[in-house]
Structures are given as C-alpha cells and as structure tokens.
C-alpha cells in the first residue's frame, strides 16, 4: 500500500512528461488529453508524500545528509508540481512545460535518495554483474584438518559457520516458519531428511548432494539457490562443501549459538591499577581502554561547561547566572563532587527531570490511546514518588512486575479497541516490554514467528506471555492459529521455575523475585548501560535494547553492574560515580552520522555531544526567556498541596504531549521507547521557525524583558547570561544592538537567535 499511495501517483509525472513530448507530433496530439489528469493526481499525491515523509522522519531514527537531501528535494518537487498544475490550469504553456521537466527531475532525485535511505547506497549496483567483489574462497584456518580427523572444537567452529550461512541465506524459505518444498534446514535431522524431491545432503559426497549443486549453479539458472537475496559467496559455498566432505558433522546438542549471547551471571573483573591521576574505578578501566586503543586523555572541560552539563543531566534545567558566578568563584578542590551531591539531593527537581526517561521506557503517558476507553492506566504518581525517594532499583522492578494498583499500568499494557494482531495482546505486550526494558532483549520478532535475529523462538515468547495471562494462549504464527498451546516459563530458566498452575498474582511475585536476584546480572547490566547512555550519549552496549551485543568495555560494564548491586541498587549513587569521573569530564565528541553511534567499530573517546531533549529545551526556554507552559498546564495530581500560582512554570516532563513536544522528539509512548534521536530534522526546524507555542512564549518574554531593562546593553548582557551562562563577545554585542531596534520585535528576534544557538541547543 505504501508504494501505491505515496510513490506511484507522483511518478505519474514521468508519464505526463512522456505524453506531452509525444503529443508534439500531430499524429499523437490526442495524447495530450490525458496529461491534465496525471498532473493533478501527481500534485495531490506529492502533498500526501511530503506529509507522510515528515511523519516518518519524525518517528524513525533517520538522520544525516541523505535524509535531509531526500526531504528537501521532496518538498521542492511538491512546490514545482503545484506550480506545474497552476501553469497548466492557467494555460501558460511554455512555463508549464518547463516546470513539468523540473518537477520530473525532482521526482527522480528524491526517489534516488529515498531508495538510498531504504535499501542502502549500493541499491542500484549490487544487482549488476560487475558488482561482484570476488571474495576469497579460502576456508577459515580454524577448522582445516590437513587430512586428520576434526577435533571437537573444529567441529564446533565449522558447524557454527555452516549454521550461520544457512540462517542468513536459507531460513527465510526453509525453516519452521516456512518450509518451501517441504525442506527445513534449521536442524540436522531435517537437513538429512530432505524435502519433497528427496535427500539434499549426502555426508562425505558433496558431488552427490543436491544442496551443494543448487548453491553452485550460475546466476540466472532456474534451479539456483537461494532464490531470494544475494547468492552465496565463493567462500560460503566452499565452507558448505567442506562441511559435507567432512561428513556433515553436527555436535551433540549443538548448543553454541550462531548469535552472540551475553553471559547471564554477574562478574567482578579486576580493577586496573590506580595511578597518581586516575584513582576512581571508572577512570582506571577507561585508562586501560585508552592505552589499548592508543588514545590520549584530553584536558577536562572548564567549570562553566561542567556546571551546565551536570545541571541538565541531573535536574534538566539551566543553571541561573548567580549559580554560574558562584561556581566559577568557588576555590574548593572538590567543588564538582559537592555540586553533584547538592543537585542529587534536590529530590523534586531530580524526579521532574528523570520522569521523562522512565516515562519513555515504561510507556507511561498522561493522555492518548486507551485512556478514554479505560483500556490503559498511568503510573505517574507511583513513578514520581519512586524517583523522589530514590527507591532501590530491585524494589522498583519488583513493584512494576508484581504491581499494586498504582503501579499496574506498565505490566497491564494497552487494551486496544477492535480487532488486533495476536502479538498485540496485553499479555504479549507485558512479555515484550518486560524483556525489552529490564533485560535489553527484543522479543517482538519472536512474538510473531521464530526470530531471525536471535535464538528466541515463538514458543519462548508465548510461554513468557502466559506468565502474565489468566489462561494459556494458543500460539499464533504470523497471526495464524497453530492449534498448539504454550506452557509457562521465564525466559532465562536458570533464574527459576514458575509455578505453572498458580494464580496470576503468585506467578508475578515469583517472576519479580527471580528477575531481581543478584545472580541476574543481565537485569543490572541493562540498567547501568541505560544510565550510562543517558549521561554519556552512547551506551557501553549499543543499541541499549540489544544487550547481547559486544560492549566497548566488557570489564567496565560488568564492574558497574556488580558495584551497583553491592551498593543497595542505588541509582543516584550510580549517577554520582559517573558524573564525578574524569571520563565524564572529557570534552564531548561530535558524531556526523547517527549510524556511527551503533557501529561495531565504535571507539570511545568521551561523551557524545547531544541535543537537548524536547523537555529540556522547553524548560530551558522557560528559564531563560519566558514559560513555554504556564503553571496551569501542570499535572496537579503530582502537587496536590500546592496552588498552580505558586509554580513559575510547568516542567515540560509533566504536561501532556502536544505538537511542540512531538516536533522536538517526544514519542507517543504507546510502545516502549528507550532512546531518542539527537539529530535535528525538518519538522523541528519548522516548529522552531513557525510554531505557535514557541513564538508565543518568545513574544511574552520580549514584553517582560523590554519592561525589565530599558538599557540595551544591560538587556543583551542579561539575556546572554540567562541563556548561555556567559557574557556576549564584543561582536555579539554589536550584532545584538543592531538587531534590537526600538520595539519588542527586536528583543523577540534576539531571543529566537539565542534559542537556536548551538551553545543553547546542545550539551557540550
């Protein structure tokens, strides 16, 4: 439906241009009659395409030059298409033809960059004959036998390679999910059994094995395999051939996964030796990592930068000018440690900031799908109180999984109206969300079919969902009933065995007890990794929901998780040791393309520079210029003892979502959201340029500031101090004075310029 609705009608412009050119010949002049309809359909579709594109760009993790070019060429195509339709309608023939040619060019360019986003930069060349890199056909040396029988380890290594090839190239057609030709290749007994045309593997005889024949056939042959995706490389064919030559060995049990599986148990690594400069454990681990990667320590950031960082990371606010001046004048050697302690003790401000992080992760919101029908409940009061009192994390998790009335909204999920996919049942939502949030595990693929990205099976997902279910669920594969029922089981059965027939309340208590055990190292690694990512811009493991991925420092991750458990599951203490490390105080590092963040080749050099979240930006504008949200918009139930007039402004974390916050990146929270893109996008630019809420706040602020300061110099100086925490440079002062003029409009323009300044928008 997406190509039919969004892309095909716009491409009718190309047909319109073809008909227009052909109609220049008198014999084909009648073709012109169809052109107006094609142009007007394309104009309407271009508008729909741009609207869909902006929505998609805001919801997905797109970023970088490619998406920007795609967006702007798409918008330009819309403009030229509308202009073409207007010129055609008003009979401006020469102008119409020129605009039509430009619009078609826009379709081609926008389509090209859109395809690059969806299919990669090599989408055109990868299917061409000359795009054959001719990879090496040499076998990995780890399992070459040199005429001798394979050792047990060599059999495991060879089998791991074979199953990896089969999983990535063959399972889409030949697995439990789909058995084309009645052939399965995911287990040895099925491989040896063969399919509807007989045996496909003859151990020791690759020349008689149908599998080897099919994968060795030339491109274009009707029997060549695989039929979907890229053909196997010469090296992959050589590995499968060698495997058959060796008798198609398959280790007993074949427990070793083709995917990396992180250890479950906790681990206490040895802390590297202290030095005169690095005594804190985090810094000692990072120092060892830097030595290993030939990276030099950079000078710590200055006091002004550190102060702003810590304020935004702990309480989500800009420091006031008097706080900046006092901190700069402070001569205590431990003033940074004292600052972090003081901010962490501001319990309300801390809770008002960190509730944003947990609202996203626990899909807690103040309005939206499910609230009108009663199919959803929020956990706001419980969550706010838990953060304010710094509830130990093991109890935090326990009360979410085995909930009381005020905390049950997370595990109960959203009861959708109407017909839904079986993987969206509330029980399956609970299984997916608990796995993702607390264990860093994607169970969504395995909720529909056996996962293609991990070893988790459909039966595992349903067994875990049944823990949250009153009655056993029938397994549905790709939303089709199978007639099979799943049992009840925890995902990591090493942690304990659920009482299968116990009431749901008892099962949830057991599950909570099993998950929060100190021996569940995965739970605590997932948490410390999320906190590290929130403070440093990039997790030790990335993405943070894929905890089986390799961390850039396994020892640091393990130590942080172990230390966290040993120190009473104290999240504030974890934040303290990170913020007071010299590692956190390193200069920030800019990342040009968002995909580099999750790259396996990522090398840590310091905090990743990041943009203020929607809530941080709204609060920063409220502190610096004028309230984005007047205090009447606050959620009063969090402050039952206080009048709205006593609040200078409502913290953005506590207000309902709106177009302003949506444009700046707040998710709708109908699903778990554990990261937000830090890349600027077109929708954000439009909101900060023409958005009503933002401009109304600046207009109100300009009136206040104009009345407060009659002297231009004082007004500019105080605006800079309030917004950026520093005095304006001489050139900035001169530019600002020229901008101001006699009225309020100049003040508003200056505020707008400061709000869009990188020093205001970014955490350096």
Q: Profile the chain (764 residues) by mean pLDDT over runs of 10 residues.
A: 69 84 82 86 84 69 63 87 88 87 87 69 53 53 70 78 81 74 84 89 92 87 79 89 89 63 96 96 98 97 98 97 97 97 98 98 93 92 98 98 96 89 93 97 89 86 96 90 92 94 96 98 98 97 95 98 98 98 97 80 94 97 92 47 51 95 94 89 89 93 90 95 96 93 89 96 94
For residues 250 and 232, what is the distance between their CA atoms, to the nearest angstrom? 21
Q: Which residue has the tokens 């058959």?
A: 244
For residues 539 and 528, what is the distance between their CA atoms, to the nearest angstrom? 9
∠ Cα 359 364 366 (to 5°):
110
What is the residue-wise DSSP string for 218-241?
Answer: PTT-TT-S-SSSPPPPHHHHHHHH
What is the pLDDT, as a whole number, of residue 158? 85
**Are both 183 and 225 inside the same structural domain?**
yes
**Are both 571 and 616 inside the same structural domain?**
no
For residues 637 and 510, what is the distance between their CA atoms, to the nearest angstrom? 32
**Are both 551 and 451 inside the same structural domain?**
no
Sign of CA dihedral 579, 582, 587, 589: negative
For residues 568 and 460, what is the distance between their CA atoms, to the nearest angstrom? 32
**Are both 663 and 756 inside the same structural domain?**
yes
- 70 is a domain residue: yes
Q: Which residues contact 364 (CB under 8 A, 6 or more apart)?
A: 358, 378, 379, 380, 383, 409, 410, 669
For residues 415 and 465, what is the distance between their CA atoms, to the nearest angstrom? 15
Q: What is the CA radius of gyration of the chain?
A: 30
**Are both 160 and 113 inside the same structural domain?**
no
What is the pLDDT, as a whole number, of residue 564? 98
- 124 is a domain residue: no
- 321 is a domain residue: no
**Are both 639 and 591 inside the same structural domain?**
no
**Are both 60 and 151 inside the same structural domain?**
no
**Are both 76 and 219 inside the same structural domain?**
no
**Boundary of a domain, candidates 515, 538, 565:** 515
- 129 is a domain residue: no
For residues 535 and 549, what is the distance between their CA atoms, to the nearest angstrom? 20
Roughly what angle, to the nearest 10 degrees, separates helices 347-361 and 614-624?
150
On the 0-12 / 13-18 / 19+ scale of CB atoms within 10 A, 230 is exposed
Q: Which residues contact 411 (CB under 8 A, 6 or more apart)?
A: 400, 401, 403, 430, 433, 434, 468, 508
- 215 is a domain residue: yes
Contact 379, 364 (CB under 8 A): yes
**Are both 441 and 548 inside the same structural domain?**
no
**Are both 624 and 757 inside the same structural domain?**
yes
- 136 is a domain residue: no
**Are both 657 and 732 inside the same structural domain?**
yes
Contact 616, 315 (CB under 8 A): no
For residues 428 and 467, what is the distance between their CA atoms, to the nearest angstrom? 10
- 260 is a domain residue: no
- 293 is a domain residue: no
**Are both 357 and 458 inside the same structural domain?**
yes
**Boundary of a domain, candidates 579, 608, 637:** 608
The domain in which residue 680 lies consists of 611-763
**Around Cβ 454, how many Cβ atoms within 10 Å?**
20
∠ Cα 180 184 188 (to 5°):
165
* Number of domain units in the chain: 5
For residues 271 and 281, what is the distance between their CA atoms, to the nearest angstrom? 7
On the 0-12 / 13-18 / 19+ scale of CB atoms within 10 A, 483 is exposed
**Boundary of a domain, candidates 205, 221, 245:** 245
3-state secondary structure of 727: coil
């Amino acid at each position: 439906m997406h190509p039919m609705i969004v892309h095909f009608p716009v491409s009718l412009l190309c047909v319109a241009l073809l008909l227009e050119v052909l109609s220049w010949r008198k014999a084909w002049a009648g073709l012109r009659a169809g052109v107006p309809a094609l142009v007007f359909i394309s104009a309407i579709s271009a508008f729909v395409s741009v609207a869909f594109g902006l929505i998609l760009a805001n919801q997905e993790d797109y970023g970088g030059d490619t998406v920007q070019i795609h967006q702007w060429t798409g918008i330009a195509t819309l403009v030229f298409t509308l202009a073409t339709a207007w010129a055609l309608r008003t009979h401006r023939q020469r102008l119409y033809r020129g605009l039509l040619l430009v619009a078609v060019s826009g379709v081609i360019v926008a389509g090209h960059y859109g395809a690059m986003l969806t299919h990669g930069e090599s989408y055109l060349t990868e299917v061409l004959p000359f795009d054959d890199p001719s990879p090496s056909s040499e076998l990995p040396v780890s399992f070459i036998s040199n005429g001798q029988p394979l050792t047990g380890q060599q059999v495991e290594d060879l089998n791991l390679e074979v199953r990896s090839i089969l999983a990535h190239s063959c399972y889409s057609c030949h697995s439990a999910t789909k058995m084309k030709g009645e052939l399965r290749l995911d287990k040895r007994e099925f491989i040896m059994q063969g399919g509807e045309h007989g045996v496909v593997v003859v151990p020791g005889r690759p020349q008689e094995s149908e599998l080897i024949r099919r994968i060795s056939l030339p491109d274009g042959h009707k029997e060549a395999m695989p039929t979907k995706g890229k053909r196997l490389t010469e090296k992959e064919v050589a590995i499968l051939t060698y495997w058959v030559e060796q008798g198609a060995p398959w280790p007993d049990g074949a427990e070793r996964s083709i995917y990396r599986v992180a250890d479950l148990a906790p681990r206490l690594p040895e802390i590297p030796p202290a030095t005169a400069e690095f005594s804190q454990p985090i810094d000692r681990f990072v120092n060892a990592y830097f030595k290993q990667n030939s990276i030099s320590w950079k000078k710590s950031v200055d006091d002004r930068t550190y102060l702003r960082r810590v304020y935004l990371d702990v309480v989500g606010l800009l420091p006031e000018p008097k706080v900046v001046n006092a901190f700069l004048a402070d001569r205590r050697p431990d003033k940074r440690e004292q600052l972090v302690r003081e901010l962490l003790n501001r319990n309300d401000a801390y809770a008002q900031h960190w509730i944003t992080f947990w609202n996203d992760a626990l899909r807690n919101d103040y309005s939206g799908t499910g609230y009108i029908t009663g199919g959803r409940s929020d956990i706001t009061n419980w969550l706010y109180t838990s953060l304010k009192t710094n509830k130990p994390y093991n109890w935090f998790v326990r009360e979410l999984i085995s909930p009381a009335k005020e905390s049950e909204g997370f595990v109960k999920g959203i009861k959708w109206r109407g017909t839904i996919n079986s993987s969206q049942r509330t029980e399956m939502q609970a299984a997916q969300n608990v796995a993702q949030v607390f264990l860093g595990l994607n169970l969504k693929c395995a909720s529909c079919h056996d996962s293609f990205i991990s070893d988790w099976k459909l039966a595992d997902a349903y067994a875990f969902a049944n823990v949250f279910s009153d009655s056993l669920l029938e397994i549905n594969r790709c939303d089709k009933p199978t007639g099979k029922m799943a049992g009840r089981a925890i995902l990591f059965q090493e942690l304990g065995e659920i009482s299968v027939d116990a009431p749901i309340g008892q099962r949830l208590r057991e599950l909570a007890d099993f998950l929060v055990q100190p021996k569940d190292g995965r739970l605590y690694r997932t948490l410390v990794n999320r906190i590290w990512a929130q403070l440093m811009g990039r997790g030790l493991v990335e993405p943070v929901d894929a905890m089986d991925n390799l961390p850039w420092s396994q020892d640091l991750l393990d130590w942080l998780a172990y230390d966290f458990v040993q120190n009473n599951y104290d999240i504030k203490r974890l934040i303290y040791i990170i913020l007071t490390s010299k590692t956190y105080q390193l200069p920030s590092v800019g990342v040009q393309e968002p995909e580099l963040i999750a790259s396996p080749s990522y090398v840590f050099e310091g905090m990743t520079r990041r943009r203020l979240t929607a809530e941080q930006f709204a609060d920063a504008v409220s502190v610096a210029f004028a309230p984005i949200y007047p205090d009447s918009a606050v959620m009063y139930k969090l402050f039952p003892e206080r009048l709205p007039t006593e609040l200078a402004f409502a913290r953005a974390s506590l207000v309902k979502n709106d177009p302003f916050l949506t444009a700046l990146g707040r998710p709708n929270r109908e699903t778990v959201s554990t990261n937000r893109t830090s890349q600027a996008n077109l929708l954000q630019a439009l909101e900060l340029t023409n958005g009503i809420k933002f401009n109304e706040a600046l207009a109100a602020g300009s009136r206040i500031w104009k009345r407060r300061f009659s002297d231009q110099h004082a007004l500019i100086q105080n605006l800079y101090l309030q917004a950026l925490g520093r005095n304006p440079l001489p050139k900035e002062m001169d530019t600002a004075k020229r901008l101001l003029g006699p009225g309020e409009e100049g003040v508003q323009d200056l505020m707008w310029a400061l709000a869009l300044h990188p020093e205001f928008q970014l955490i350096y």
